[in-house]
Amino acid sequence: MRWYAWAGHRANATLAASLPSVVLRHRSVDDRFVRLQDGITLQDWRVASQDVGAGLTLPHVDPHAVRGLKFAEALPARLAEATLAARLGDAEGSPCSSE
**Is this model's pTM higher than 0.75 or not?**
no
Residue 82: enclosing H or E segment and its boundaries?
Answer: helix 77-88
Summarised one tens digit per residue, pLDDT across range 41-93 is 999 999 988 877 678 888 888 888 888 887 878 888 888 888 888 887 876 66
Contact (CB, 8 A) for 44 and 21: yes
Q: Where are the domains of the chain?
A: 2-88
* pLDDT at residue 93, as a whole number: 63
- 4: alpha, beta or left, given left = phi > 0 and alpha = psi -120 to 50? beta
SS3 percent helix, strand, coil of the chain, rounded to 5, is 40, 10, 50
4: phi then psi, degrees, rounded to nearest 5? -80, 95
Give 4's strand partners. Answer: 33
Write down the pLDDT at residue 3.
Answer: 92
Residue 94 has a pLDDT of 53
